[in-house]
Amino acid sequence: MNEIILLNISGEDKPGVTSAITSILAEYEINILDIGQAVIHNTLSLGILIEVPKAAESSPLLRDILFKAHELNMHIRFQPVEEGDYEQWVTGQGKSRHIITLLSRKLSSGHIARVTDIAASHGLNIDNINRLSGRISLNEKSDQTKACVEFSVRGAPSDAEKLKAEFLKAASDLDVDIAFQKDDIYRRNRRLVVFDMDSTLIEAEVIDELAKEAGVGEQVSEITEAAMRGEIDFNESFRRRMALLKGLDVSVLDSIAERLPMTEGAEELVSNLKALGFKTAILSGGFNYFASHLQKKLGFDYVYANDLDIDENGKVTGEVKGTVVNGERKAELLREIAAKEGVCLEQTIAVGDGANDLPMLSIAGLGIAFRAKPLVRESAEQAISTLGLDGILYLIGFRDRDTLN
């Protein structure tokens, strides 16, 4: 019977360690059943699971490896593995896999402990842990840092809704974000990202800015908030707010467009997505005038929003031209753009903050509630509240070193 042996090599990371060990294995024509390596703070941990044929005696093989490890000033441990245990491990590889992504400004042991405890309580076994964010200097201010760790887990939760609820509570308690996604081919092949505009790409509600100029700021803000919480139907809230803008002079639009504050991470996210070949779109219940301004600035491929109706005297009429871009229209537009670009919905990402974004969030392959109201955050599949928009890159598996910035 062939022997199965697990080799664990650890010590100061240096070039040539893996090469030196595997070269000895090659001399004995050893089969490698599994291999994994990690480096944390210049310390290497290398694991190799080998199958030693009957024709090769393990004693001289292990002796040679032991001598080489000593020469390299590395620690080594040999662990025999029973064939039955190995076969059971192989069978387990067929289990479904998921990715848990933990995002915060800084990560603590308490964050890791809470997330891994929840995973374990639902029968999820951690296979790999990877840090996606760059190394953080001790001198950096906490409100300027990004930290992200990704856990690859094996198994399926018996109660997915309960797991989601526990992760949501942990995220709220710890002021972190926790995403739980199925690890499949679609997760690694997203192709289209659509965004809401107001309070998503920009840190403002344009209609509220228009209302301030019209002197009806408080009334419009109250209606906007109620609509975002899902308390008022979007079409009704939109009609009420537009009516309050009647008579506003079109000359104020330019100044509003110039002062709209971009959301943290928006420019970094969109520039990286475009460089990586993603198609991008704005699907907004706001106005084309301002969405087009963002399109010119960031280079979006598609823009769909509402057209303000202006009379011959340059005044807002309180109406919009054409079909209102509400929640149902956003979902419809997502389907249309995906079909035009030849991608399936599983390859799409939708990002928004309000109740009127839920229809598109629900049909996208990855729906993300960004700094959203509680109702939206609880209803969406994923949520980001602690980081900027560029945190979305972590949810699709990108490391800081992969990005342009």
Give yes or no: 307 in active site: no
- Among the listed residues 117, 159, 196, 254, the single catalytic one is 196
Q: pLDDT grade, residue 231 (50/70/90)?
A: confident
Lowest mean pLDDT among 189-193, 320-324, 390-394: 320-324
Task: Say how far apart CA 316 and CA 309 lie, in whole Å.
Answer: 6
Tally DSSP H helices, then E strands, for the chain: 15, 15
pLDDT at 226: 86
Q: What is the pLDDT of residues 17-67, one digit of tens each?
A: 999 999 999 999 899 999 999 998 899 999 999 998 876 666 789 999 999
**Within this chain, domains 3-92 and 97-182 share the same CATH topology:** yes
* Annotated catalytic residue, options 64, 177, 198, 400: 198
> Which whole number is the average pLDDT over 277-292?
95
Is residue 155's pLDDT more than 70?
Answer: yes
195 and 280 Cβ atoms separated by less than 8 Å? yes
pLDDT digits (tens, 9 = 90+) for 328-359: 999 999 999 999 999 999 999 999 999 999 99
CATH number of 97-182: 3.30.70.260
> Predicted confidence band at 84 (pLDDT cuts at 50, 70, 90)?
confident
The CATH number corresponding to 3-92 among 3.40.50.150, 1.20.1260.10, 3.40.50.12780, 3.30.70.260 equals 3.30.70.260
Q: With DSSP H G I counted as helix, E B as strand and the rest as coil, what are the percentages for the chain, rounded to 5? A: 40, 25, 30
Tell me yes or no: is domain 192-206+261-402 CATH 3.40.50.1000.
yes
Helix axes 217-228, 206-214, angle to 10 degrees: 160
Continuous H helices in 203-357: 206-214, 217-228, 234-244, 253-259, 266-275, 288-298, 327-341
What residue spans define the domains of the chain?
3-92, 97-182, 192-206+261-402
What pTM was estimated for this model as a whole? 0.85
Task: Decide if 183 is catalytic.
Answer: no
Q: What is the pLDDT of residue 137?
A: 73
